[in-house]
Amino acid sequence: MSTEIPTKMTDHVAIEIWGGDARGTCLQVTGQAGHVILTMEEAAALCDALGGFVKREAKRRQGLLRDELQRLKIAERTVFNEVSELPDDLMAGPGLAVRMVALYCPKTIRKELE
């Protein structure tokens, strides 16, 4: 007799099965590529390995996220962003406003407008 074990896996099914007198109750994990049957001791060893894998992968992904956030923070500190965030009262004089825009804002080529 077998009992399906509820999991959040989408591509695999875990089933508790009887592995015979020598193996006792086992865990069978089935997916498209086939299945694997684990004894309690093997499942415990796999559980430890999976826990380590999850921690390492989560840490790697966290590092990637930190790197991306750092890259975005650097992009925020560009001259263009700094000019765009100047207080309105600094841009009140037309001469200063024109100089700031002319110096720091990208120019559009005429062909792009047509």
13-18/25-31 β-pairing: antiparallel
Q: What is the pTM of this model?
A: 0.55
Tens-of-pLDDT digits for all 114 residues of the chain? 789 999 999 999 999 999 999 999 999 999 999 999 999 999 999 999 998 898 889 889 898 888 888 888 877 777 666 766 776 666 566 666 666 666 666 555 545 444
Q: Which of helix, strand or coil describes residue 31? A: strand
Report the run of H or E that residue 18 belongs to, with start and end. Answer: strand 13-18
